Chain A
Amino acid sequence: MTERLNLSNALIKYGDKTLLNDVSLKANSGEMIFITGINGAGKSTLIKAMAGLIALSSGEININGRISYVPQVEEADRDFPAKVIEIVLTGTQRPGKIFYSRHDKQLAIRSMRELKISDLSKRKINTLSGGQLKRVFIARALCGEPDILLLDEPCAGLDSESHDILFTLLRKKISEGCLILMVTHDDSDFEYIPEARVITLSGGRII
């Protein structure tokens, strides 16, 4: 068991607003943590801080391993001229490696198959439905062989079959030693991974 995440007294201020307030959290490989809380509680802010997208105002964050991230909202132009396969493959990029290997391509094909989007692989992303696109983003994250998976409301917009597929894949990832942090508003998700920890945020604090 390896320590993958160590957050101590993390504080994020935006102007005079405190988005994240004194959050401390440790997590190891093979763990699952659900993050809940009302709208505006700071869940996405916490995930983005771990993904390296928002700097802490104070406190410390230590990440040990490769991160893959499924954002709550994809910050990209939906009309961007890209095919599904082109987007999924980007999940295998990492610093210091600029070409896709054959292994990367196999991983992308496998994760598209697992999420049942193989038949969409040549489609332009602006021709997909919301739920199909969400599955593309999940496939992109999964094919990066992450040590840490950050999922910000991955189930929003998924049909019940895709929801079950996702949890089957997540259980597999956990057994392989992946640390997963997942934001959800649906308490019934907890039943899929009974051994998971649940943390609740309120006003930027863990309660």
Chain B
Amino acid sequence: MSEILDLLRYSFVQRALIAGSLISICASILGVILVLKHYSLIGHGLSEIGFASLSIAAALKISAIYITAPAVIVAAFIIMFVSERFKTAGDIAIAVASSAALALGVIISSLSGSASNMSSYLFGSVLALSESDLIFAVILAVIIILAFVIFYNRLFLISYNEDYARSLGINITYYQALISILTAFIIVTGMRIMGTLLISGVIILPAVSAKNLASGFQSLVIYSAIISFIAFIAGLTLSFALNIPAGAAVILANTIILILVKVFIK
């Protein structure tokens, strides 16, 4: 234990701790909306598109953020639009787009000789966090939490019943766009540390656990954030102790929490 506490002296560990906690908390707050709106698959689809764009950025030797952020945001809009227009086709569209993107990413990584980075893209790496990643994570966290506080009542209404919001004259497209953009940003930021394959679990799992505990929307958001934070700290500790990838350890911690909640509550 004291060895793990000793690690806190290293700046990359501090960065991982701060950025990872913020990302976990923000991801789980957005996850509440995605779970309630049955958009759980979107995170998964977007993260695989994120992986493809990371591979392209590596092949072209340009900074990843310039490619992944726009690619994931555009994809988020397309997916939301498709699932809105063709109600049933949404999950199929996501499944097709995400597996195609994953395949594309693998091919590009292999051809461009950056395949050695592939596993760090797929499963994340706490060592990969730079100073600017940390700053980006802090800014993103501030934006997401502010957006949530400011638009809380609207997000509640739209998650509950879009038609009712429309009947009140509220333009829900703005809010769908807001949710898409924030989800895209969380994925782009979070996939460095958690991995492209695992970030969607960090978004969804805490909200699913919290749903079993919450008595209302507000408590759902709060429980989701707390669970996500605990799972991240537990996962990061586990990842240092066992020398396993942080993203996988965080998902493991989240899964254990979910099982405990299911078994002991109700």
Among B49-57, B94-102, B147-155, the stretch that binds chain A is: B147-155
B167 touches A69 (CB 8 A): yes
Given A80-B36, A82-B216, A98-B150, residue A90 in contact with residue B169 (CB < 8 A): no
Residues of B within 8 A of A80 (CB): 36, 159-160, 217
Give A94 to B164 CA distance when docked, in angstroms.
11
Q: Does A71 contact B (CB under 8 A)?
A: yes
Within 8 Å by CB of B153, from A53, A75, A90, lies: A90
Q: Does B18 contact A (CB under 8 A)?
A: no
Give A27 to B165 CA distance when docked, in angstroms.
24
B215 touches A95 (CB 8 A): no
Residues of B within 8 A of A174 (CB): none
Give A109 to B151 CA distance when docked, in angstroms.
22
Q: B171, B216, B220 — which one has the most chain A CB atoms within 10 A of its CB?
A: B216
Contact residues on A (Cβ < 8 Å of other chain), bracket? 20 to 34
Give A165 to B114 CA distance when docked, in angstroms.
72
A52 touches B160 (CB 8 A): no
Given A81-B216, A98-B153, residue A90 in contact with residue B166 (CB < 8 A): no
Interface of chain A residues 32 through 88 with chain B (CB within 8 A) = 51-53, 66-69, 71, 74-77, 80-83, 86-87
Interface of chain A residues 5 through 29 with chain B (CB within 8 A) = none
Q: Does B156 contact A (CB under 8 A)?
A: yes
B98 vs chain A, min Cβ distance (A): 25
Given A67-B169, A75-B163, A90-B160, residue A98 in contact with residue B151 (CB < 8 A): yes
**What is the 8 Å Cβ interface bit string for chain B, positions 110-128, against chain A (1 contact, 0 not)?**
0000000000000000000
A82 nearest in chain B by CB position: B217
Residues of A within 8 A of B218 (CB): 86
**What is the 8 Å Cβ interface bit string for chain B, positions 164-207, against chain A (1 contact, 0 not)?**
11111111000000000000000000000000000000000000
B154 touches A86 (CB 8 A): no
A81 touches B153 (CB 8 A): no
A124 touches B216 (CB 8 A): yes
B220 nearest in chain A by CB position: A81
Given A53-B163, A90-B153, residue A81 in contact with residue B217 (CB < 8 A): yes
Q: Interface of B with A (CB < 8 Å)?
A: 36, 150-151, 153-154, 156-157, 159-161, 163-171, 211, 214-220
Report the 8 A-B pairs with minimum CB-CB distance, sorted nearest first. Answer: A51-B167, A76-B161, A83-B216, A69-B167, A90-B157, A81-B214, A81-B220, A95-B169
Q: Interface of A with B (CB < 8 Å)?
A: 51-53, 66-69, 71, 74-77, 80-83, 86-87, 89-91, 93-95, 98-100, 124, 144, 150
List 17 A-B residue pairs with CB atoms under 8 Å apart, sorted by A's residue number: A52-B166, A69-B167, A75-B161, A75-B164, A76-B160, A77-B160, A80-B36, A81-B211, A81-B216, A81-B219, A86-B156, A86-B218, A89-B153, A90-B153, A93-B170, A94-B168, A124-B215
